[in-house]
Amino acid sequence: MISVYNIAEILYANVCTHVFKLNVLDDKKNSWCAPGDCTGKVFVKIRELNRNHQDTSDLSYADVEHFLRFIDKYVSRAVGNHTYARWKKSHQTKTLLDKISASDIAYTILVYENSKDVWEEELIIKARAKTDEERKNAERRHNPRYHEGRGKRLKRYGDGWTEEGRTYYKELLTTFQDLKSSDFWNESLQGYWNDYQMRNYGKTSVDYNNKESDIDEDSDDDEEDWKVEAEESDSDIDDGEMSDDDGERRIRAKRI
C-alpha cells in the first residue's frame, strides 16, 4: 500500500519537474542555459569562490548574473512560492538569498544536470511529432545522468537515484553550505541580487518591504511546498515498480 509519505514524494517531484520543464522551455526560447563545463556541470566557477580563500573583490555583476537567474527561476521552486511569500511577510528586510538553503541549491542543480538533456529532447520530439503515437515511438537518445532512467525497476520505496548521484548531491551540499556562510554570499551577492531585481523587475529588496514578496504568492496555485532530503531507501524489496520518464519522481521529501 502506498503511504501518505510516498504520495508526498511523488507530488513534490511532479510539481518541481513540471515547473523546471516549463523554465527549460522558456530558456530555450530565450537562448539561455546555465553555464557549464565540458562535463556538463553548471556554475563550476561559482562553486570555487569559497575554496582556497579565493579573492572575490574583483567579481562583477556580470560574473554572477547567470547564477542569480538560476536562483530566481529554478532554486526558488524548491522553496515554494507560497512558503516564501508567507516567510517574506515576517522577514521584510530579507531576500530570497536568505531563505534558500544549501540543500535547495544542491538539489536543484542535481535535477537540472540530471534531466536537462532529456527534457530538451522531449520538447523537440513533441514539436516534431504529428500524433501521440509518433511521439511515443520516437527515438530517444538521452537518459538521466544520475537516475536509473526509463524502464528500470526501482526498489520498493526507492527513489531511483544512483550512488554517483547521491555522492554528487553530498558534494554540492557541502560546497553551498560553505558558500552560503561566506562574506561573499552575505555581502557581495546580496548586493548583486538587488541589482538583478532592479534590472529584471524594476524593484529592489527595499521596495518589497511593504509588499507581499519577491515572488507572486498566487502564481503556480497547484504548487505544494516541500523541502528535499536525499536519503537512503527504506527497503531493499523490489516491488517491480517501473522508473518514470521524469527521472526524479521518488526523491525523498519532507513538508516544510
Binned at pLDDT 50, 70 and 90, residue 21 comes out as low
Of 19-23, 55-59, 169-173, the range with the lowest mean pLDDT is 19-23
Residue 197 makes CB contacts below 8 A (sequence gap 6+) with 203, 204, 205, 214
Helix residue ranges, H only, 54-101: 61-70, 76-79, 81-89, 96-99
Q: What percent of the chain has pLDDT over 70?
A: 65
> Quick one: pLDDT at residue 153?
64
Mean pLDDT, residues 225-232 taken together: 36
> Quick one: pLDDT at residue 28?
74
Mean pLDDT, residues 157-179 taken together: 90
Contact criterion met (CB below 8 Å) for 116 and 107: no
Greatest Cα pair distance, the chain, in angstroms, is 57
> Quick one: pLDDT at residue 62?
95
> Quick one: pLDDT at residue 76?
93
Which residue would you say has higher pLDDT here, 251 or 44? 44
Of 54-58, 102-106, 110-114, the range with the lowest mean pLDDT is 54-58
What is the DSSP secondary structure assignment for residue 214, as one 8-state letter?
A: S
Binned at pLDDT 50, 70 and 90, residue 205 comes out as low
* Structural domain boundaries in the chain: 4-255
* Residue 237 pLDDT > 70: no
Contact criterion met (CB below 8 Å) for 215 and 76: yes
Provide the grid cell at 192.
548583486
> Quick one: pLDDT at residue 203?
78
> Quick one: pLDDT at residue 15?
46
Mean pLDDT, residues 186-204 taken together: 92
> Quick one: pLDDT at residue 168?
96
> Quick one: pLDDT at residue 248?
37
* Residue 212 pLDDT > 70: no
Helix (H, G, I), strand (E, B) or coil at 204: coil
Q: Facing residues of 131 across strands?
A: none
